C-alpha cells in the first residue's frame, strides 16, 4: 500500500506537503485503480519528488494550483544542466504530464501546466540477445553459484549428497527453461502458482502489467523440468508459507524477484561470451528467435504481453538472421 507522506517528517530540502500530499493520492490511485506495479509506483514517486524538491528550493514552494508551465520549464533546464540522460528526462516528463492530467481531471488544478511540455525522443538501444548455441549451453549447463545454492551446498559434502542443493539446482533449471520457453517478465515468473499450469495444453496463466491476464505456451523441455521439480524436489524446500507458489526459495517461502534475477545473472556470467546480463535478455532473445523463425509480429506481441505493437517492433531491428534471409531471397544481386 502506498503511504502518504507525513508532513511532519519533511525536510526543507525535499518537497513540501503542498506537493507531496496530492502526489501520495495520485500514487494510491495508480496502485488501487490502475494496478500499477511496485516498480512503476517507485519510479513515479522518485520522479515527482524530484520536481517537488525543485519547486520547494527554487520556486518559492508554490501550491499545486500555482505551478506554471514556466516553473516546469525551469525544472527541465535544471535537469539539463545536471546532465540527466535523455531516457531519465523523458521518463520524468511523462510522470509529470500524467500527474497533472490526473490533477486536472480531479479538479485539483484549473489548468494543466504540463500540457505543452515536450519529451525528448528516447534512445532506442538494441537489446542484447543470445545466439541459439548460447541458449543451448545456458540450458544444458548448471547455473553459476548463487547465494542460495552455495548456502545449501555448504551444508553437505557436495551437491550430489545434499538434497536441498539438488532441489535448488532443479529449480534454477526451471527458471531458465521457463524464461526462454515463455518470454515471461521475471516478476511474472515468480508470481506463478501451481494452479496456473495447464499440463494438458502446456500453457501458463500469467498475470501481467496492469493486471492483464494472458495464456502463454511452453514446450516439452520446460514441461519435463517442471514436472521433475514438482514431483521430486519442490517438497524438499517448500514450507507452509510457500502456499501454491511454483518457485520456492531456500527458506521455504515463495521465491522473490531478486533471487530469481541472481540465478539468471549468474548463469549468463558463466557463459563467458555474452554481454547479456539479466533475465530480460532471455525475453529479448525468445522474441527475436520467434521472429527469426517466421512468427507473426502480432502473435509475438500477444505472447509477450506488450500493450503496444511498437514495443514488439523493436525486436525486428535485432532480427538480423531474418533480414539476411529476406535479402538473399529478394535482392537480385544478393
**116 falls within a domain:** no
Strand partners, 203: 198, 217
Same domain? For 35 and 141 the reply is: no
pLDDT at 307 over 90: no
Q: Which of 162-171, 283-292, 310-319 has the lowest mean pLDDT?
A: 310-319
CA distances from 160 to 125, 150, 164, 165, 168 (A): 43, 13, 10, 8, 12
- Count of beta carbons in the 10 Å neighbourhood of residue 274: 17
pLDDT at 193 over 50: yes
Q: Which of 59-63, 69-73, 198-202, 253-257 has the lowest mean pLDDT?
A: 59-63
pLDDT at 4 over 50: no
**117 falls within a domain:** no
Domain with 271, as residue range(s), is 132-327
Same domain? For 30 and 168 the reply is: no
Which pLDDT belongs to residue 12?
A: 45
pLDDT tens per residue across span 113-128? 999 887 776 655 666 7
Which pLDDT belongs to residue 225?
A: 94
CATH number of the domain bearing residue 54? 1.10.150
* Residue 235 and residue 166 in contact, taking contact as beta carbons nearer than 8 Å: no
Same domain? For 100 and 178 the reply is: no
pTM here? Answer: 0.61
**323 falls within a domain:** yes
Residue burial 323-333, b: 16+ Cβ < 10 Å; e: rest: eeeeeeeeeee
**332 falls within a domain:** no
Q: Provide the strand spans (E) within the chain.
A: 197-198, 203-207, 213-217
pLDDT at 40 over 70: yes
Helix axes 132-140, 280-292, angle to 10 degrees: 130
**73 falls within a domain:** yes
Which pLDDT belongs to residue 230?
A: 96
Which pLDDT belongs to residue 23?
A: 94
Confidence of residue 316 (pLDDT cuts 50, 70, 90): low
Residue with cell 520467434: 290
Which pLDDT belongs to residue 232?
A: 94
Same domain? For 91 and 211 the reply is: no
**122 falls within a domain:** no
Same domain? For 157 and 83 the reply is: no
pLDDT at 289 over 60: yes
Instruction: Give 70's Cβ-side CA count (13 Å radius).
Output: 4
Return d(Cα 95, Cα 99) in angstroms, integer: 6
Same domain? For 97 and 150 the reply is: no
Q: Residues with catalytic annotation?
A: 185, 209, 280, 283, 306, 315
What's the structural domain count of the chain? 2
pLDDT tens per residue across span 13-28? 566 778 989 999 999 9
Amino acid at each position: 500500500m502506498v503511504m502518504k507522506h507525513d508532513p511532519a517528517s519533511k525536510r526543507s530540502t525535499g518537497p513540501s506537503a503542498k506537493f507531496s500530499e496530492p502526489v501520495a493520492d495520485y500514487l494510491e490511485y495508480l496502485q488501487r485503480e490502475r494496478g500499477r506495479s511496485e516498480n512503476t509506483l517507485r519510479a513515479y514517486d522518485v520522479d515527482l519528488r524530484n520536481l517537488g524538491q525543485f519547486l520547494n528550493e527554487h520556486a518559492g514552494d508554490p501550491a499545486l494550483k500555482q505551478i506554471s508551465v514556466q516553473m516546469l520549464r525551469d525544472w527541465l533546464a535544471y535537469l539539463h544542466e545536471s546532465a540527466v540522460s535523455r531516457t531519465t528526462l523523458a521518463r520524468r516528463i511523462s510522470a509529470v504530464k500524467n500527474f497533472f492530467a490526473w490533477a486536472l481531471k480531479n479538479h485539483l488544478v484549473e489548468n494543466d501546466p504540463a500540457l505543452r511540455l515536450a519529451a525528448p525522443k528516447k534512445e532506442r538501444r538494441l537489446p542484447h540477445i543470445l545466439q541459439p548455441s548460447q541458449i543451448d549451453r545456458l540450458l544444458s549447463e548448471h547455473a553459476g553459484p548463487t547465494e542460495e545454492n552455495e548456502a545449501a551446498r555448504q551444508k553437505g559434502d557436495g551437491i550430489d549428497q545434499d538434497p536441498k542443493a539438488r532441489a535448488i539446482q532443479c529449480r534454477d533449471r526451471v527458471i531458465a527453461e521457463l524464461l526462454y520457453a515463455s518470454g515471461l517478465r521475471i516478476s511474472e515468473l515468480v508470481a506463478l502458482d501451481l494452479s496456473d499450469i495447464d499440463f494438458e495444453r502446456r500453457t501458463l496463466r500469467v498475470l501481467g502489467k496492469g493486471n492483464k491476464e494472458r495464456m502463454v505456451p511452453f514446450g516439452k523441455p520446460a514441461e519435463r523440468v517442471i514436472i521433475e521439480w514438482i514431483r521430486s524436489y519442490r517438497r524438499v524446500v517448500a514450507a507452509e508459507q510457500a502456499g501454491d507458489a511454483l518457485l520456492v526459495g531456500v527458506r521455504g517461502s515463495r521465491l522473490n524477484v531478486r533471487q530469481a534475477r541472481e540465478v539468471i545473472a549468474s548463469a549468463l556470467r558463466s557463459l563467458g561470451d555474452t554481454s547479456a546480463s539479466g533475465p530480460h535478455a532471455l525475453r529479448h532473445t525468445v522474441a527475436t528467435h520467434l521472429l527469426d523463425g517466421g512468427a507473426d509480429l502480432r502473435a509475438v506481441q500477444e505472447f509477450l504481453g506488450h500493450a503496444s505493437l511498437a514495443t514488439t517492433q523493436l525486436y525486428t531491428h535485432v532480427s538480423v538472421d531474418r533480414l539476411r534471409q529476406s535479402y538473399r531471397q529478394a535482392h537480385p544481386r544478393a
